[in-house]
Amino acid sequence: MKILVLISNVPDTTTKIRFTGDNKAFDTSGVQWIINPWDELALTRALELKEAGGVEKITIANVGTNATEPTLRKALAVGADDAIRIDAEAKDAFFVASQLAQVAKDYDLILAGIESSDYNGAGVGGMLAAMLDIHSVSAVSGVSLENGELKVQRDIDGGNQSLSVPTPLLAVVQKGIAKDPRIPAMRGIMMARSKPLNVVPPADVEARTEFLGYELPEPKAACKMVDEDNAKELIRLLHEEAKVL
Amino acid sequence: MSVLVYTENWEGKFKKLSYELSSFAYAIAKEMGSSVTALSIGHVADDELKSLGKYGVSKVLNVQDNRFESLDNKAVADAIAKAVASENAKVVILAHNNEGKAFAPRLSVKLNAGMVTGVIGLPVSVEPFVVKKKVFTQKAFARIQIKTDVKVLTFAQNSFDVVENPVDTAVEAFDPQIGDGEFTTKVLDTHKITGKILLSDAEIVVSGGRGMKGPENWGGLEEMGDLLGAGMACSRPVSDDGWRPKEEHVGQTGKIIAPNLYLAFGISGAIQHVAGVSSSKYIVAVNKDPEAPIFESADYGIVGDVFKVIPQLNEAIKEMKS
Ligand SMILES: Cc1cc2nc3c(=O)[nH]c(=O)nc-3n(C[C@H](O)[C@H](O)[C@H](O)COP(=O)(O)OP(=O)(O)OC[C@H]3O[C@@H](n4cnc5c(N)ncnc54)[C@H](O)[C@@H]3O)c2cc1C
């Protein structure tokens, strides 16, 4: 079995968000970049499956400029076998999925994160599956291989389900897929330097949406405090002032 | 031409979000001079289907076909596409939840439509079609233009009021004609709580963090949940350590919820936690540490011990109800 893990390069989750140029662009100055947390968990699960046997190779793919390479090297350092970078600035989910569709054929399992933590698009995985005309399952919280067959767990309203699904499959993964991401070890980092990172030119595709500008939320009014010994007052406020009880 | 809404039901009753989506769709349709058609898949009684009319839906396409129960991503997306074609819909609206996120991307490819997910509020304009959404995990807003003729939106729950706009509603049986071969997802096993309030659909949510000290201390919170008809939630370490079921985990890596009222007990308010609840209308925090970051996001707060405060609150709620 060959696995492809889609990797998005995003600002660290604690980044203070700022914009430049009349609020038209995200201010990347001083930002630390990481593997999108969902993609990192997807990769972790792929590595676990490989260690358990039955997976030949794990490839990672990213649409991005050469600025994303440190993130891709990190993914190689934790154990991916090779990387593909499609050399273009990611414009929207449709654009990214269209680029990935060029390189995503010939895998038995493709893992995509439910969303990237920057633009929260939640679109690339499902779009790619539709473009490749393969099956997809979303809200996936577990993937396992039993005698070469894929078993998938997904979250549904109020619970979860286990499913059998044919390959090739694109699984859009979320919480539960793996527990803790791996931290690259020195040996991994050394090895990653010589692993293949293939740069592919982009296909000529138009994005279907355009980001026009950004806003930051209004600062919030101060929290109204109630005394610990008079906690009942809180219920009165929620009932009479906020009118939510 | 119309605006098409994909509705969802829970045990045969429309989720509140279906009425919210309908209200939202009606407001868009009005600006575009068109009308709203809803697609319902599953076993929903006629009266319930008609109830959508109260929120501006003029036509309901009713699909009763057990094969769709497997929520096969491709088959459902294809079925929605058939409904879009038969209605000549220009805007298609799904919820920004498990189902919407599963179907909308596939649907958008099928329809050659531009898609924006997690839309909040009415479009900034319909010509050109510009919508707003939250980005950077709730930390900012973006304005995005969709440039295609057909548009697919997923709508972030609780960002539009459910408004009554009664219209005459026709319910029509609809067969999207999806072949058996298209259904490839086989459900082996389902674990599902029933008869409980769905966290994602709850108007009030009671939530506990590590400050609750252990699973044995949840009695007071569960009582509060029952008293208020609330959904239950928790922080990530609480579900990671198995104190509470993982369905209750909210935050950046859990569920993102937006109830009217979110009550946080013994939760520090880490940025990744707040990312999942910051769209709540009101946030209440009880924490013994006055410096806890949760108070920066909260509207009402008590600096104090959860074990002292919870019983007082429950008593006050009972008094209020009686
Ligand atoms: C990539 C990433 C993703 C993450 N995603 C999530 C997520 O989705 N959701 C999430 O919740 N977290 C998430 N986290 C973890 C997050 O950073 C915090 O560690 C977590 O939210 C803390 O949970 P807590 O508030 O329950 O516990 P703590 O931070 O330990 O806080 C417990 C609080 O309880 C208070 N307390 C203790 N005793 C009492 C008492 N008797 N009475 C009153 N108050 C008391 C303390 O003052 C403290 O503020 C994520 C972290 C990372 C790195």
Task: Give the CATH number for residue A63.
Answer: 3.40.50.620
Q: Which DSSP string do the residues of chain A spell out, in sequence order?
A: -EEEEE--EEE-TTPPP-EETTTTEE--TT--EEE-HHHHHHHHHHHHHHHTS---EEEEEEEE-GGGHHHHHHHHHHT-SEEEEEES----HHHHHHHHHHH-TT-SEEEEES--TTT----HHHHHHHHHT-EEEEEEEEEEEETTEEEEEEEETTEEEEEE-PSSEEEEE-TTS-SS-----HHHHHHHHTS-EEEEPPP----SEEEEEEEPPPPPPPPEEE-GGGTHHHHHIIIIIS---
Q: Is A112 a domain residue?
A: yes
Contact between chains at B109 and A37 (C-beta distance less than 8 A): no
Domain membership of residue A69 as a residue range: 2-215
User: Chain B closest CA to A220's CA: distance in Å?
Assistant: 7
Q: Is A184 a domain residue?
A: yes
Mean pLDDT of B19-37: 97
Q: What is the pLDDT of residue B192?
A: 84
Contact between chains at A93 and B115 (C-beta distance less than 8 A): yes
Burial class of residue A125 in the structure, from the number of CB atoms within 10 Å of its CB (0-12 exposed, 13-18 middle, 19+ buried): buried
Local confidence band at B148 (pLDDT 50, 70, 90 cut-offs): very high
Q: Which CATH architecture has domain B2-182?
A: 3-Layer(aba) Sandwich (3.40)
Q: What is the pLDDT of residue A165?
A: 93
Q: Is A220 a domain residue?
A: no
State the amino acid at position B294 in one-letter form: I
Q: Report yes or no: A168 at the B interface, CB cutoff 8 Å.
A: no
Q: Is A154 a domain residue?
A: yes
Q: Is A243 a domain residue?
A: no
- ipTM for the predicted complex comes to 0.94
Residue A235 half-sphere exposure, CB side, CA atoms within 13 Å? 19
Q: Do domains B2-182 and B204-321 have the same CATH topology?
A: yes
Determine which helix (DSSP H) or strand (DSSP E) holds B206, and give its type and residue range: strand B204-208
DSSP 3-state of B245: coil
Q: Is B240 in the pocket of ligand 1 (CB under 6 A)?
A: no
pLDDT over 90 at B15, yes or no: yes
- B192-202 confidence digits (pLDDT tens): 877 678 888 89
Preferred mutation among B253, B257, B263, B297 to probe A, highest tally of A CBs within 10 A: B253
Mean pLDDT of B46-63: 98
Local confidence band at B119 (pLDDT 50, 70, 90 cut-offs): very high
Q: Is A233 a domain residue?
A: no
- Token pair 């054929």 in the structure block, residue: A105
Q: Is A224 a domain residue?
A: no
Query: Using CB atoms and an 8 Å cut-off, which of residues 257-286 of chain B contact chain A?
Result: 260-261, 271-272, 281-282, 284-285
Taking only the tens of pLDDT, chain A with its 245 residues reads 999 999 999 999 889 999 999 999 999 999 999 999 999 999 999 999 999 998 999 999 999 999 999 999 999 999 999 999 999 999 999 999 999 999 999 999 999 999 999 999 999 999 999 999 999 999 999 999 988 889 999 999 888 999 999 999 999 999 889 988 999 999 999 999 999 999 999 999 999 999 999 999 888 889 999 999 999 999 999 999 999 99
Residue in A131, A210, A239 nearest the CB of B109: A131
Helix axes B73-87, B98-110, angle to 10 degrees: 60
Contact between chains at B98 and A120 (C-beta distance less than 8 A): no
User: Chain A closest CA to B284's CA: distance in Å?
Assistant: 9
Superfamily (CATH) of domain B204-321: TPP-binding domain (3.40.50.1220)
Q: What percent of chain B has pLDDT over 70?
A: 100
Give how many domains chain A has, as a whole number: 1
- B70-96 confidence digits (pLDDT tens): 999 999 999 999 999 999 999 999 999
Mean pLDDT of B98-123: 97
pLDDT over 90 at B157, yes or no: no
The alpha carbon of B48 and the centre of ligand 1 are apart by a number of angstroms equal to 41
Average pLDDT of every residue of chain B:
95
Q: pTM (2 decimals)?
A: 0.91
User: Chain B closest CA to A172's CA: distance in Å?
Assistant: 8
Burial class of residue B80 in the structure, from the number of CB atoms within 10 Å of its CB (0-12 exposed, 13-18 middle, 19+ buried): buried
Q: Is B293 in the pocket of ligand 1 (CB under 6 A)?
A: no
Q: Is B235 in the pocket of ligand 1 (CB under 6 A)?
A: yes
Local confidence band at B11 (pLDDT 50, 70, 90 cut-offs): confident
Q: What is the pLDDT of residue A13?
A: 87
Domain spans of chain B, in order of start: 2-182, 204-321
Using a CB-CB cut-off of 8 Å, the residues of chain A touching B240 are: 179
Q: Is B252 in the pocket of ligand 1 (CB under 6 A)?
A: yes
Q: Are A1 and A55 in contact (CB under 8 A)?
A: yes
Q: What is the pLDDT of residue B195?
A: 67
Distance, CA of B68 to CA of B61 (rounded, Å): 15
Q: Are B309 and A226 in contact (CB under 8 A)?
A: no
pLDDT over 70 at B169, yes or no: yes
Q: Report yes or no: A177 at the B interface, CB cutoff 8 Å.
A: no
Burial class of residue A147 in the structure, from the number of CB atoms within 10 Å of its CB (0-12 exposed, 13-18 middle, 19+ buried): exposed
